[in-house]
Amino acid sequence: MISKETLSCISCGAEARKALSVSQVAFKADLQKVGVQNTGTTSLDYSHDRVIGQQSWSTLHEMQKRQDYKRTVIESEMTDGHHLSRDPTDGSYWVMDDAELLAAKKGREIQKVLSRAVRDYERRKQF
């Protein structure tokens, strides 16, 4: 016998008291675009929003620290940002000498030529 308070088990037929009320829960996520997190569950959305906000703040704070450090180096070395190079392992800056400046300029010129070639190739491939 099925009442509002109990249900029969599909496997064994035993009566069991309902633990949850009947409700419909649906999750809608569009993974193709960036948008507001909306799972339909407020506490879950709040947790995601909080984590995203904390990560954004942390990233922005680190970027500001790097920029402040770079400005300090530029001022102390009395140079501009074009003469600096950054060590990717520890984030420190140094002023490049003439040979390093020439190598950096040559590298940028090669990168421009390669980028232009790739862009032109992609355009030709579309037609």
Position 44 in a domain? yes
Same domain, 25 and 48: yes
Top-confidence residue, 49 or 79: 79
* Closest to 73 in 3D by CA, of 96, 92, 60: 92
Q: What are phi and psi of 11, to 5 degrees?
A: -75, -50
Q: What's the pLDDT score for residue 36?
A: 60
Same domain, 25 and 63: yes
Q: What's the pLDDT score for residue 3?
A: 47
Beta strands in 1-127 (DSSP E): 6-8, 15-17, 84-86, 93-95
Q: What's the pLDDT score for residue 13?
A: 85
Q: State the residue range of the domain holding 116.
A: 97-127
**pTM of the predicted model, to two decimals?**
0.47
Q: How many domains does the chain have?
A: 2
Q: What's the pLDDT score for residue 79?
A: 87
CB 113 within 8 A of CB 103: no
Position 1 in a domain? no
pLDDT, tens only, 62-74 = 999 989 999 999 9
Cα torsion 60, 64, 67, 69: sign: negative
